[in-house]
Structure 1
Amino acid sequence: MFYAYLRWLVSFLVWVVNGNAHYHNRENLLDTRENYILVAPHRTWWDPIYLAFATKPKQFLFMAKKELFNNRIFGWWIRMCGAFPIDRDRPSQEAIKYPVKMLKKSHRSLIMFPSGSRHSSDIKGGVAVIAKMAKVKIQPAVYQGPRSFSGLLKGERIDMNFGHPIDVSDVKRLNDEGVETIANRVQIAFDTLDEQNEAYNNGKKLNPLTYIYRIPLGFIAFILVLLTLVFSYFASFVWNPEKHRK
């Protein structure tokens, strides 16, 4: 329930800030009854918001670096939304075992950014391992749009594009060759979706007149965020999502 509320709240907030998002080929998304791994290049801190909004009502788990959990409110938020911490310096088997178990036994799919950081283009092998072990498909997507907050605020166009699911069941072994095969399929999908987005993008910015209604809506969003922050702070002392997860 909190996941759905927070997704709505944050999506409403970024709509007020930008309001120029376009979604393409959502018919390629797998059925909501089927679990999968949603993968995308990590280009901004807000691309997970657009991914989660575009795929609603499907809910997701996602990996997050352990440092993000240090803040009481934000850490509680992301735990409530299905995030689990990853130590990038010393990754453990839990980083594989937990998402595999949840993909098999829960109603939630998994969001992964296989390139890791926001400024990397290297396709990691983790998505291949998890997809094979959980026996799920990989759903590629790409974000193309502003990468700075000023660009987001100016209403620069955003294009979210979804590709055809990638079936990895034909890859028999997860050796170096098998992982590379899956990584290549994912990268080809990303490149294809980026090319399509280039064709979609006409460079048109948001009509400035929209600020007439976006500014008062922004005030409402601000109040809702403040109320949610206060609620979350006190709720974090009462409800431990980590214990509930276990």
Structure 2
Amino acid sequence: MSFYKFVVGVLSFLSKILYRVEIIGEGNIPSEGNLIIIANHKHFLDPVFMLVAVKNRKIIPVAKQELFSVPILKFFMKKVGAIPVNRDNPSISTFRAVLSEIKSGSVLGIFPEGTRADTYDFLTPKSGTTMFSIKTKSDIVPMSIISTFKLFSKVKVVIGEPIDMSQYYNRKVDKSEYQGIVQECFDVVVKNYKDNMGGIIPERTE
């Protein structure tokens, strides 16, 4: 058994003990083909639920490079193959690492907001996701992770249908378009989150 499968197995076991996990749309993850999963980011456990929600593909998380300065996190992330990235200006070496992983059949897991947002809010997604998708010819799967993350509470992971990005593969896409493209994809994440938050996230009171 690979270390990746071992880690995901342990995380899946623990998550089912500590939370009531419901996964919707597992069939929306293609068993082959280049793919990037994008998800909202509300809690430090989001990467865990992304990993345990996808059973038919290996997920390689893309994490902000600052996390790799923490020894324990650095050890764990390197073991599962996480790729450090400068959120505002991805480097050539980052792109090469992403390309290599996708070519090997792995799926990139990205939180485009770059950092955690409050329960009821969403941050502007970083445009680097668009570059990764176009350069590697990867479709994008929107994933919404919905929970208060209190122990024994419900966690609903909604996996949307893949977003076909092929319209951008064979034409020159100006960098000025990147933000609009990733925002359009992330809007699906937000919509699925809001459509499924009833009974999980308490109504907002002003």
Give the secondary structure class of the aligned counterpart of 1:107.
Answer: coil
Out of 108, 111, 115, the position equivalent to 1:110 is: 108
Partner of 1:37: 36
Conserved in 2, the CA contact under 8 Å of 1:129 and 1:174? no
TM-score (norm 1): 0.71
The structure richer in helix per residue is 1
Between the aligned partners of 1:128 and 1:195, the Cα distance in structure 2 is: 23
Partner of 1:28: 28
Q: 1:111-190 maps to which residues of 2 (within 5 A)?
A: 111-119=109-117, 121-147=123-149, 151=150, 153=151, 155-171=152-168, 172-190=171-189
Between the aligned partners of 1:188 and 1:136, the Cα distance in structure 2 is: 18
Counterpart code for 2:135: M
- CA distances 1:157-194 after superposition (whole Å, capped 9, x unpaired): 21110111111221333324531342232122113211
Q: Which runs of 4+ in 1 moved over 6 A?
A: none
What is the CA-CA distance between 1:4 and the residue it aligns to?
A: 0.6
Between the aligned partners of 1:164 and 1:187, the Cα distance in structure 2 is: 13
State, as a whole percentage, how many aligned pairs show the same letter: 24
Unaligned stretches of 5+ residues in structure 1: 205-246
> 178-187 or 84-93, which moves further after superposition?
84-93
Total equivalences in the alignment: 194
Q: 1:1-246 maps to which residues of 2 (within 5 A)?
A: 1-18=2-19, 20-30=20-30, 32-88=31-87, 91-103=90-102, 105-119=103-117, 121-147=123-149, 151=150, 153=151, 155-171=152-168, 172-198=171-197, 201-203=198-200
Unaligned stretches of 5+ residues in structure 2: 202-206
Cα 1:17–1:163 shift into 2, 3 Å: same
TM-score (norm 2): 0.84
Conserved in 1, the CA contact under 8 Å of 2:145 and 2:157? yes
Conserved in 1, the CA contact under 8 Å of 2:87 and 2:114? no
Conserved in 1, the CA contact under 8 Å of 2:83 and 2:98? no
